[in-house]
Structure 1
Amino acid sequence: MNFQVTVLKILVSYPDGFAVMADLKRDMAILATSGPEWAERTKRMATRVPELDIFSDGLVERQKGGWRITVKGRAVLESMEARRTEHEPVEKVPVETAGPPVPSLPLPAERAKRRRERRQRRREARERMHLKWAGSGGSPTH
């Protein structure tokens, strides 16, 4: 699994592109154990931006208790995710030529719907864990 691509993918899924460290760690753990498909996907994406460094390249900012994806980070991620035809060669996109900052575009309705549903499932899971921990005197039950 490519750590830096995974961080970009996780951050872009959060409102305003910001996630606290606890959420990042949880999401990383979920993806790391989700099977070989995720590892292969992030590896393929990483080949499009050789020598990716999300902090040095200004793609992610450290902020109070968490990390936020930048406009440049969104642009680089978008270029890594760009679909290509079967006969089209893989274009390696250097970070410095990713282009000027691009404002976020509205999401298509279906993608927005999936994103809302994913957020709702996360909220519900956090609430279940909170209730589970509160009911056990503050310690998780196994």
Structure 2
Amino acid sequence: MNFQVTVLKILVSYPNGFASMPDLKRDMAILATSGPDWAARTKRMGARVPELDLFTQQLVDRLHGGWRITHKGRAVLELMEPRPTTHQLQPEDTRAPELPSPVPAGSLPVELRRSEPERLGRRRSSRVTDG
């Protein structure tokens, strides 16, 4: 497992990128024991930035009993994240969306069965006679 990549991945998952030391240690322990997939993933990611150093490159700040990922740390993590290749991308669905079946007129309320001009005409006539 690549320790530095794991720290970045943990920090980016927290609100504002900040994790207290107890939270960071707990999450590290969980990931360290999660199996070979995580270790392989962080090694692959770390290989993309072999000179990774959290503090000298200012990827992480130490403050208030914890660590916080910086904007630069987020950018480096983004560079390390694997990108899907063109054959992994799903083709965009270009079909027209299916329209819902029309509702039979007999199942609509009486107000909705009348045509728009008929409904408007009745409203106007009632206003004229009221005034």
Residue aligning to 1:68: 68
1:26 aligns with 2:22: no
Match in the other structure for 1:77: 77
Structure 2 unaligned residues grouped into runs of 5+: 88-131
Aligned to 1:10: 10
Structure 2 counterpart SS, 1:40 = helix
1:1-142 aligned at under 5 Å gives the runs 1-85=1-85
Please, what TM-score do these two structures have when normalized by structure 2? 0.64
Question: For the residues of structure 2 that align with 1:82 and 1:76, how far apart are their CA atoms?
Answer: 12
Query: Counterpart amino acid of 1:81?
Result: E
Q: SS in structure 1 opposite 2:54?
A: coil
Aligned residue in 1 for 2:113: none
CA RMSD across the alignment: 1.5
Q: d(CA) in 1 for partners of 2:84 and 2:10?
A: 23
Kindly provide the amino acid, as one letter, of the partner of residue 8 in structure 1. L
Q: The residue matched to 1:61 in structure 2 has which SS?
A: strand
Runs (5+) with no aligned partner, structure 1: 88-142
Aligned residues: 87
State the 1:6 CA deviation.
Answer: 0.1
- Cα distance in 2 for partners of 1:12, 1:71 equals 10
**Structure 1 segments (4+ residues) deviating >2 Å:** 84-87
- Cα distance in 2, alignment partners of residues 57 and 71 from structure 1: 12
The AA in structure 2 aligned to 1:9 is K
Q: Percent identity?
A: 78
Larger Rg over CA atoms: 2
For residues 78-98 of structure 1, give each alpha carbon's deviation from its aligned partner in whole angstroms, at most 9, with x where no partner exists: 0100415389xxxxxxxxxxx
